[in-house]
Structure 1
Amino acid sequence: MALTHQEIFERYVYAGAVNRDPDAIAALFTEDGVYDAPLAPDGHPLHGRLVGRAAIRAGTSAYHQLSTRQGTVNPERSAYVLHDTPDPDVFIAEIDVAFDEAAGRRTTMSLVQIFRLRAGQIAMLRDYFTEPPSGVSAGR
């Protein structure tokens, strides 16, 4: 039974944002899968294209070891919307991740992800994100 776009997305979020498990993230990709973060700056662990499970595992592992966030994710204020496309192997996720930081500050990281699937696995994930500077209030 094929997984729905919702199920694939939820597995990706659970493996990454919730469990921060690079092995589980890499396992969601095809053997030759590509993770592409075109907006990640030079020197960022996810900068450029990560090709293959080993590169995806290494890049996401290095990313999750960074402590760029001082706050915690607020699931009640975080949200996402999935968009199907005419191509059944492509869907788009719009995501707002809300953080509660020290002294009552709130920030939001907004991003768009484009998923291209092959045989129920991620063949290409294009992740458009920029991380807000720590301590910058988004007012949400």
Structure 2
Amino acid sequence: MYAGAITRNPDAIAAMFTEDGVLDAPLVPDGHPLHRRLVGRDAIRTGTSVYHQQPTYPGTMNLERSAYVLHDTSDPDVFIAEIDVAFDEADGRQTTMSLVQIFRLRDGQIAMLRDYFAELPSAADGHSS
């Protein structure tokens, strides 16, 4: 979460993956700046760099209200993270982006990350959760 959402550092993100690691984002729509599937550290670095060049969500991330839950599985190299990233809007509203990530590790690095997320609506849309 720190490397991605907070620092938006593609080098730090790519370094967490194995050389042949896969970042899979099956819910992103066609034409989204983050491709649905990135294979290999170089592709992950390039793909997340392009994605992070997009304007950031206009709300301010609220770390105190943000939360996550980790779930173990029967496979010690697989775990699931439920993440709620909370934002404070300029007009006082509070918005939350919820996502689920499934991690498969190999030798302490991410071999496969399935990232199930949907972009937040823009602040002009007037939506919040």
The reply to whether TM is greater than 0.5 is: yes
> Structure 2 counterpart of 1:99, which letter?
F
Q: Decide which of 102, 112, 116 is 2:90's aligned counterpart.
A: 102
SS in 2 for 1:102: coil
**Does the Cα contact within 8 Å between 1:72 and 1:99 map onto a contact in 2?**
yes
- What is the Cα deviation at residue 132 of structure 1? 2.1
Aligned counterparts, 1:119-138, within 5 A: 119-135=107-123, 136-138=127-129
User: Which residue matches 1:51?
Assistant: 39
Q: Hey, what's the Cα distance between the residues in 1 that align with 2:115 and 2:106? A: 18
User: Which residue matches 1:23?
Assistant: 11
| Segments of 4+ moved more than 2 angstroms | none
Q: Hey, what's the Cα distance between the residues in 2 that align with 1:69 and 1:29? A: 25
Aligned identity (percent) is 79
Q: Deviations over 1:2-51 (max 9, x none)?
A: xxxxxxxxxxx221122111001101100000000000111112231100
Worse-matched range after superposition: 43-52 or 79-88: 43-52
User: Which residue matches 1:62?
Assistant: 50
Worse-matched range after superposition: 80-89 or 59-68: 59-68
TM-score, normalised to structure 1, is 0.86
User: Which residue matches 2:99?
Assistant: 111
Q: Does 1:37 align with 2:25?
A: yes
Q: Does 1:14 align with 2:2?
A: yes
Q: For this pair of structures, how many residues does the alignment match?
A: 126
User: Which residue matches 1:74?
Assistant: 62
Q: Deviations over 1:113-135 (max 9, x none)?
A: 00000011000000000012112
Q: Hey, what's the Cα distance between the residues in 1 that align with 2:113 and 2:56? A: 22
User: Which residue matches 2:81?
Assistant: 93
Which residues of structure 1 form unaligned runs of 5+? 1-12
Relative to total residues, which structure has the larger helix share, 1 or 2? Answer: 1
> Structure 2 counterpart of 1:137, which letter?
S
TM-score, normalised to structure 2, is 0.93
RMSD: 1.0
